[in-house]
Structure 1
Amino acid sequence: MQMTHYAEAKLQEEKVFKDPVHRYVHVRDQAIWDLVGTREFQRLRRIRQLGTTFLVFHGAEHSRFNHSLGVYEIIRRIVDDIFVGRPEWDESERLLVLCAALLHDLGHGPFSHAFENVFELDHEYYTRQILLGDTEVNAVLRKVAPDFPEKVSQVIEKTYPNKLVVSLISSQIDADRMDYLQRDAYFTGVSYGHFDMERILRVMRPRENQVVIKSTGMHAVEDYIMSRYQMYLQVYFHPVSRSAEVVLNNILKRAKQLSMEGYKFKHEPTHFKAFFKNDITLEDYLSLDESILFTYFQFWMKEDDEILSDLSRRFVNRKLFQYIDLDPCAELDKYQKLQALFRQAGLNPEYYLVHDTTADLPYDFYRPGEENVRVPIFLEMKNGELRELSTESIIVDSISGKMKRDHKIYFPMDFLEDTSTHHDVKKKICMILQGN
C-alpha cells in the first residue's frame, strides 16, 4: 500500500520552473520532484544540448537539463489537458510517461556525438544503466513499484508494449522534437524552429498504437515539418559547428592514441583512464561532464605532443578548420593526392585532413516508410480513416526524403597560409583545394 501511495503522492504546493520556451514547467507529483533532485539528473545541467554549436551561435549554451524539463512539460500538458478522460488513454500510464519524458536523455555524455564516437559508447546504454543501476534515480523509481525502473527504461528504448505511450516520446511528431526545435531556435536566435505547438497539442488524439493528428490540424503539422527541415540545414548541419566537432573528435582520438602508446602526460588524465582502457564503470561515466573536458583541454594545450596541444588550443580558442565540399568516394584521386601532400608538409592527415558528412549527425528528418523506429505521422480524416501525412500534404511530399548527403573535408587553412616552411608543397595543396 505504501508503494501505491508514493505513486499517487502530490506536493503540498505545486512547484514551477520558469522556462523561456514554455513560460512555466509545472510539477505536482512527488516522484517527479524527487527525480529532478537526483545527482544523475542534476548532472545534465553540465552537458550542453547542442554540443559544439555554441561556437557558432553564441546563445546556444542551454543544457540537457533545460530540454528534459521541457519534454516533461509538453507530455504533462498532453496527458493532463488533452488526453484526460479519453477512452483510448489509460490513466494508469500517466506517471510512467512523465518519468520517461523527464529521464529520456539521462545517459548523454559530454559533447555526446564526438565522445560516443571516439570511445565507442552508446548513451542509450548508459540511460538504461542509470535507470536500473545503484543510483539515486533508481531508488526514486523503485519507490513507485519494484518493476517501475524497467518500465521507464522500456518506454525510452521503445520496447514498451503500449506503443501509444512510446509514440508520445519517440515518433515523427513527439514531445522530444517539439521541445528541442523550439528551444534550440530560441537559444541560437534563429527564426526557423518556431511553429504553433498549441495548435498541434489540441489536435493530437490517442489511438490504439500511436498518437494521430486530426486532419484539421494538418497545416500546423506542415509548419512543424518545415521548421525541422530549416533547423537541420541552418543549425544542426552548420559546417562551422561540424568543424568544431571535427577538432574535438580529434583531440579525444589523439589523447586516446597517446595513452595506448604509453605517452607520459604532464597532467595525469585521471578522469579518462577508464575510457582509454575501455573499462568503464557507471561512476566513471557519471563523473565526466563538459567542464571537466574543458579543464583537460587547458592542460593538454601545454603538452609536449604537438598534435594534442595544437588541437586543444584550436578548440579552446576557437581557431577551427576551414572546409570545402569534397566527397572522397567520388574524387578518390584528389583526396589521396591531398593526403600525400599533407604528409610532405608535415601535417598528419589523420588529424588535419578530415572527411565529414552530415548524414552522421544523430538527427533525422521526415522520410515516410524509411524509418523502422519512428512511426510516420498519420492524419485522422473526418470519416475516421487514417492517412499518412505526405499523401495529403503537397508541402510535406515535396521535401520528404529530399535531404542529400553533404560531404566536406576540413583542414587548418592558417597552417597552409604560413609559407615560412614547405612553401612549394603548401602552394600545391592550396591550388588543389581551390579547384585548380
Structure 2
Amino acid sequence: MRYQDQQLAEEKVFKDPVHRYIHVRDQIIWDLIGTREFQRLRRIKQLGTTFLTFHGAEHSRFNHSLGVYEIVRRITENFKGREYWHEDKRLLVLVASLLHDLGHGPYSHSFEKVFGLDHEEFTRQIIVGDTEVNQILRKVGRGFPEEVASVIEKTHPDKLIISMISSQIDADRMDYLLRDAYFTGVSYGHFDLERILRVMRPTKDQVVVKTSGMHAVEDYIMSRYQMYWQVYFHPVSRSAEVILTKIFKRVKVLCAANYSFKQAPTHFLSFLEGDVTVDDYINLDETIVMYYFQMWRDEEDPILSDLCDRFTNRKLFKFVDFHHAFDAKDWMELYAAFKAIGLDPDYYLIEDSTSDLPYDFYRPGEEGVKLPIYLLKPTNDQIELSRYSDIVEAISGKKRSDHKLYYPREIIERLPDDNKAKQTIQKYLKFN
C-alpha cells in the first residue's frame, strides 16, 4: 500500500479544549506530529507576550496547528461528493494545514522585526530542507514537499485549497479566534463554528458560505473585530512587546561594540550575523530565549540588565495616547529631558502603533488583502458579504489605528517635583 494511503490501525485522538477531540487517521499526519520540527511548536507561544496580560494565554503554536488541521479535516468531510471538490487533494490540504505555522520563531513578531526574518520563508525551508518533516513528505513523492509549501505560500494553482487555510474565513483564523478567546478567558471571541462549517461550500476558486449561514458569519466577523482590539492590540501586551524588541536590539548593539557578555549570546550569533541555518532556527525556542533573559539580568550593561529584569518580572512600561502632535522641537526637548535623568530615549521612550502589527480586520476589495467572503445565494449567484450584511458593512474597511508612547513612569515619578526634566516630561506625557 502506498504511504499516502496508509491508515493507523486505530484512530488516534487528542483531547482538545476547543474542538473536544482532534482526530488522526492518516499515518502521515501521525508521523508529522512526531517530528522534531513539529514538536518544537510546543515551545512557541501562540500569543507571544500576551500571557503577561491574560495569564491563561500560555497555549502554543502546537495547540493551534492541531486545531487548524482538525477544522480542515472536518471541512473535507463535509465537501465529499460536492462539485469542485477533488478528493485527491484531501491529504495535501490536511498536511498543509498541520504545517502552516512550522516556521514561527520565539515571540514571533518582535523576533522577526529585529532580525529581519520571515517565518513563512522558514516554514518553506523546514518543509523542503534536510529535516524530519521533509523525509516524511518525500515518502509521498519527491515533489510533494514543494507542493505542500506552495499551498502555504499561496502559489499553488488550486485556489480552493489555499482558501481553506488562507482567506478571510479560513481554518487558521477560526481556530485562533476560538482558541485565543478560550485561553485568555474573554467572552467576545466566540462564534458558531459548527454552523459555519455546515454552510461552507466549495467553488472553483474559493470556499463560499450559503446565505442561510450569514448570521453565523456576521458573528465571526464581530468576534474577530473585538478580539483584535481587546486582546491582540491590548496596550499592556504591547508594553511587553516593546521591551522584548528593545532587548533584542540592545544585544545587537552590544555585539557590534564587542561588549564582553557574562553569558555570551551563543544561540543568537548566526541571527546577529545574518547567516541563519534551518538548524539554528529550529534550535531556538522560547525556553532558550527566557534562559538568556534570566542570565542577562546580571550583565554589567545597565540597559540590557534592566530590560531583561522588566520582562522576566513583569515590570512593564506605562503608556500614554499619542497622536503624532509633536513637532521636531517637541521631540528634541522630550529626548533631552529623558537624557537629563539618565534614561536613553532609544530604549525608554518608545512610539508604538497598531498599524505595525501582523493582524487585520475584514477589508473587502482592498488590494493586497486576502479574498473577501462571498455568500452563495439559492440561485447559485455569489455576493460579497458586506453588500448583503448591514452589520459587516458598518465595520468592514474601517481603518483604525492606536498610537502610544511607552516609558518607565515609576522612575520619573520618583524624581523630586522641582526637577526641571521631570516637569518637561510631565508636560508632554501629561501625567501627575
Q: TM-score, normalised by structure 1?
A: 0.97
Report Cα offsets for 1:369-413 as digits up to 9, x if no partner.
114241100001111111000000000000012241111110000
Could you tell me which residue of structure 1 aligns to residue 366 of structure 2? 370
Query: Relative to structure 2, which stretch is displaced further, 401-410 or 52-61?
Result: 401-410
Q: Which residue of 2 aligns with 1:84?
A: 80
Which residue number in structure 2 is paired with residue 67 of structure 1? 64
Identical-pair percentage? 64
State the 1:330 CA deviation: 5.8
Instruction: State which of 148, 155, 162 in structure 1 corresponds to 2:158.
Output: 162
Matched-pair contact (CA < 8 Å) for 2:417–2:423:
no
324-333 vs 386-395, which deviates more?
Answer: 324-333
| Structure 1: distance between partners of 2:99 and 2:286 | 19
Deviation at 1:327, TM superposition (A): 3.1
Deviations 1:77-121 (A, max 9, x none): 0002x1011121010000000000000000000000000011010
SS in 2 for 1:221: helix
Q: Confirm or deny that 1:130 pairs with 2:126.
A: yes
- Matches for 1:394-409 after TM superposition, within 5 Å: 394-409=390-405
2:48 alignment partner in structure 1: 51
Give the superposition deviation at 1:427: 2.6
Equivalents in 2 of 1:99, 1:159: separation in Å? 16
Amino acid at match of 2:38: F
Give the Å deviation of 1:420. Answer: 6.1
In 2, the alpha carbon distance for the partners of 1:399 and 1:327 equals: 22
Between the two proteins, the alignment pairs up a number of residues equal to 432
Distance 1:347 1:102 in 2: 46
1:189 to 185, 188, 196: 185
3-state SS in 1 of match to 2:258: coil
1:207 to 2:198 alignment: no
Instruction: Give the Cα separation in 2 of the matches to 1:422 and 1:54.
Output: 38
Q: 1:252 & 1:420 partners in 2: Cα distance?
A: 33
Instruction: Give the one of 177, 187, 190 matched to 2:173.
Output: 177
The answer to whether the 8 A contact 1:328-1:335 is kept is: no
Greater mean deviation of Cα atoms: 264-273 or 172-181: 264-273
Given the alignment, which residue of 403, 406, 414 partners 1:410?
406
- Report the Cα distance in structure 2 between the residues aligned to 1:276 and 1:380, rounded to whole angstroms: 50
1:151 to 126, 147, 150: 147
Deviation of 1:276 after TM superposition, in Å, equals: 1.2
What amino acid is the match of 2:22? V
Going from structure 1 to structure 2, the CA distance change for 1:421 and 1:266 (only over 3 Å counts) comes to: farther
CA spacing shift, 1:281–1:186, aligned 2, 3 Å: same
- Aligned amino acid, residue 68 of structure 1: S
Match of 2:248, as an amino acid? L
Q: Does the 8 Å CA contact 2:363/2:369 hold for their aligned counterparts?
A: no
Q: Distance in 2 between matches of 1:246 and 1:191?
A: 27
Structure 2 distance, partners of 1:386, 1:331, is 50
Q: 1:328, 1:355 within 8 Å by CA — same for their partners in 2?
A: no
User: In the TM superposition, what is the alpha-carbon distance from 1:332 to its structure 2 partner?
Assistant: 4.7
CA RMSD of aligned residues (A): 1.4
Pairwise CA distance, 1:331: 4.9
**Structure 1 spans left out of the alignment, 5+ residues:** none
* Shift, 1:268, TM fit: 1.4
State how far apart, in whole Å, the 2-side matches of 1:175 and 1:76 are.
10
Task: Give me the whole-angstrom Cα distance separating, in 2, the residues matched to 1:108 and 1:12.
Answer: 32
